[in-house]
């Protein structure tokens, strides 16, 4: 069973996204700091399309903000799947406001990468694993150990990370919710 030591609890940024989107609609424009927060929240939630469209909406004078531009560079790297570049950009010096979200973005990318590796690789070279994870050899070995994987002869031997199975009970619960929602919608429409 994978260890949860490497990745901390996920952030709930949905309220930040909703609040800043509403502010942008009401005000017509946000400050550079607000755009940076919204952009970072989109990157954390892996809403790359929303981030790309946000960049198109940001007024040109605001785009000159150095921190906003750095966040946009991370977004471009993620969009083009250049994760090594994204890690390098994330590991830069950030303001105290953005530092925690940048750490969380890196951890989310690493967790997604771990899951991908566990599902698609029987073995992977340790140096390639380091590159994918954006860590040095020592950190890579700690991650391998914390996940309960094996490292042998310069290769990482992952164990598949399984998603929780909802089974019939979960499916039935979803169906019950849909029926209730459908009944409520029908009641309102009539």
Q: What is the pLDDT of residues 129-182, one digit of tens each?
A: 999 999 999 999 999 999 999 999 999 999 987 655 444 444 555 655 555 555
**What pLDDT shows up at residue 5?**
40
**More confident of the two residues 154 and 190:** 154
**What pLDDT shows up at residue 39?**
95
**For the range 100-106, what are the long-range contacts, defined as Cβ-Cβ under 8 Å and sequence gap of 24 or more?**
101/11, 101/13, 101/37, 101/40, 101/41, 101/44, 102/40, 104/8, 104/10, 104/11, 104/44, 105/40, 105/43, 105/44, 105/74, 106/134
Alpha carbons 3 and 144: distance in angstroms, whole number: 10
pTM (2 d.p.): 0.73
The DSSP element (H or E) to which 84 belongs, if any, is: helix 83-90
12-63 confidence digits (pLDDT tens) = 788 889 999 999 999 989 999 999 999 999 999 999 999 999 999 999 999 9
Alpha carbons 113 and 13: distance in angstroms, whole number: 21
């Amino acid at each position: 069973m994978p260890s949860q030591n490497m990745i901390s609890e996920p952030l709930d940024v949905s309220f930040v996204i909703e609040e800043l989107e509403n502010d942008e609609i009401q005000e017509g424009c946000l400050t550079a700091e607000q755009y940076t927060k919204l952009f970072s929240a989109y990157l954390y939630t892996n809403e790359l399309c929303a981030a790309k469209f946000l960049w198109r909406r940001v007024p040109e004078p605001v785009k000159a903000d150095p921190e906003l531009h750095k966040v946009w560079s991370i977004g471009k790297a993620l969009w083009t799947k250049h994760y090594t570049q994204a890690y390098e950009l994330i590991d830069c010096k950030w303001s105290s406001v953005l530092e925690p979200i940048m750490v969380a973005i890196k951890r989310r990318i690493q967790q997604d990468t771990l899951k991908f590796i566990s599902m698609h690789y029987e073995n992977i070279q340790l140096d390639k694993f380091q590159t994918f994870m954006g860590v040095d050899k020592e950190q890579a070995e700690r991650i391998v150990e914390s996940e309960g994987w094996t490292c042998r002869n310069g290769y990482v031997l992952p164990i598949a990370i399984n998603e929780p199975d909802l089974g019939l009970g979960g499916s039935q619960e979803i169906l019950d919710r849909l029926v209730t929602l459908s009944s409520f919608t029908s009641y309102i429409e009539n």
